[in-house]
Amino acid sequence: ILVLENIYVKRTAQFLILFVPFLLGFFNYPLAILGKDLAFLPGDLGDARFINYILEHGYQYLTGHRDSFYNAPFFYPEQNVIALSDNMLGHLPIYAGFRLLNFSREDALQMWWLVIFVLNYFVSFFCFYKYSKNLFASVLVSYLFTFSIINLVQVNYLQINAKFLMPVVFLYYLQWI
């Protein structure tokens, strides 16, 4: 029984070491920007609204309300205007999932942005831990990767916050070499 209790205490401590920094960063960075009642949208009046438009346009295409994804109705008669900029295709499943759950356009954008931080933290933790086998170092690196001041500077460009696949690329590169 003593061994089981020690394992339980160890697992609980590891869980707290992983989740407490995440919750501190999550409440002090993305949730602080959105407000306690999620009254604000992240980003500036230009780029963030454009990202919201692109994601909503993609959702409208997926649900059959638009005939073409790349032919958005701005810059008419120019064709394939979505191909000229960020098309957000990799992010569309997350956003569309929230829209399918009847979130509004703005709420789905907020939820997509929050999911990006969750993915950044936990995917980077998994990769760093798999490489280093050091819990404390992996938590520290994941925290800095997700919630550092470098990310705060990029808050106006929401698509830049989504970088959760970078640690996966580095992990597989290091395994490859």
Q: Helix or strand or coil: residue 8?
A: helix
Mean pLDDT over each residue of the chain, to the nearest integer: 90
**Segment 134-150, tens digit of pLDDT:** 999 999 999 999 999 88
Mean pLDDT (whole number) for 56-61: 95
Predicted pLDDT of residue 4: 54
Mean pLDDT (whole number) for 58-74: 90
Predicted pLDDT of residue 79: 86
Predicted pLDDT of residue 3: 54
Answer whether 13's CB lies under 8 Å from 139's CB: no
Higher-confidence position of 3 and 167: 167
Mean pLDDT lowest for which of 44-53, 61-70, 72-81, 129-138? Answer: 72-81
Amino acid at 139: V
**Which residue is it, tokens 């454009």?**
50
Q: With 90 as the cut, is the pLDDT of residue 130 above it?
A: yes
pLDDT-derived band at 61 (thresholds 50, 70, 90) equals: very high
* DSSP structural state of residue 83: G
The token duo for 70 is 């790349």
**Segment 70-115, tens digit of pLDDT:** 988 877 788 888 888 888 989 999 999 999 999 999 999 999 999 9
Answer whether 171's CB lies under 8 Å from 125's CB: no
- Which residues, in sequence order, are CB contacts of 79 under 8 Å at separation 6+? 70, 71
Mean pLDDT (whole number) for 158-175: 91
Between the alpha carbon of residue 97 and those of residues 100, 101, 125, the distances in Å are: 5, 6, 25
Distance from C-alpha of 151 to C-alpha of 95, rounded to nearest angstrom: 21
Predicted pLDDT of residue 55: 95
Task: Report the chain's C-alpha Rg in angstroms.
Answer: 19
CA 48 centroid distance within chain: 14
In the chain, pLDDT over 90 holds for what percent of residues?
A: 60
Distance from C-alpha of 63 to C-alpha of 143, rounded to nearest angstrom: 37
Predicted pLDDT of residue 151: 83
Predicted pLDDT of residue 21: 96
Nearest to 26 by CA among 123, 146, 138: 146
